[in-house]
Amino acid sequence: MNLILLGPPGAGKGTQAQRLVKTLKVPQISTGDMLREARAAGTPLGLEAQKYMEKGELVPDEVVTGLVEERLKADDCGPGYMLDGFPRTVVQAETLEKTLDRMDKKLDHVVLIKVDDEVIVERITGRRSCPECGKIYHVVFDPPKDGICVCGYKGDFVQRADDTEEVVRERLKVYYSQTAPLVDFYGKQWLVREVEGTGTPDEVFQKVRASIGLE
């Protein structure tokens, strides 16, 4: 099965992608993860992406598109794939469509996870990570037990620069102006499956499964 996950930042796309990957046995292709890894490694691509990510702006198409195409050519994408975080714009979607046509990897479903803006702000601004192992917690929903990470670290946990309220609200503005039009783009192809993203991860996953005919 070939899928795209859509939704605003903080909608839970990454969590649902991990569950679907196990169910469908296809790789998750997350451009956000790939770009963050490049940024952490200090590569030219990562440093270029950092300038945009810290402002809550979209990384330019030319930085992302080639990276995704190369990933789709990998052997593990033969049985299918799940794109998480790409495409973000209609221009990217049009480029992806041409790429998929050439590779004979047409889309089956575009899953749209919908969550209220204020819920998203609370979710993202409360995230903290362990500076030692990188595990992510939430100050309200999933704090480290007794202030100690599973790796044993005890101390201050870190908020990413792009997880502040100001940046989150800017990211939401960017999403509605540039990414939300993808719903119309794929809707015209009868590919969009809308899922309400509130509830526990298990509850949302059952909705996602049902939306793509797994139940």
Q: Does the active-site annotation cover 19?
A: no
User: Angle formed by the axes of helices 201-211 and 13-24, to 10°?
Assistant: 60
* Catalytic residue selected from 13, 71, 123, 193: 13
54 sits in which H/E element: none
* Catalytic residue selected from 39, 123, 127, 193: 127
pLDDT in tens, 119-130: 999 999 999 999
Domain 2-115+164-211 is in which class?
alpha beta
**Lowest-confidence segment of 83-87, 108-112, 209-213 by average pLDDT:** 83-87
Name the nearest CA neighbour of 27 among 61, 62, 68, 66: 68
pLDDT in tens, 149-203: 999 999 999 999 889 999 999 999 988 998 889 999 999 999 999 999 998 889 9
Neighbouring CB atoms inside 10 A of 206's CB total 15
User: Would you say the pTM of this structure is higher than 0.85?
Assistant: no
Q: How far is the C-alpha of 67 from the C-alpha of 59, rounded, in Å?
A: 12
Q: Does the active-site annotation cover 39?
A: no
* Catalytic residue selected from 36, 160, 169, 209: 160
* Catalytic residue selected from 128, 171, 193, 207: 171
Q: Does the active-site annotation cover 123?
A: no
* Catalytic residue selected from 39, 71, 88, 123: 88
Domain boundaries, the chain: 2-115+164-211
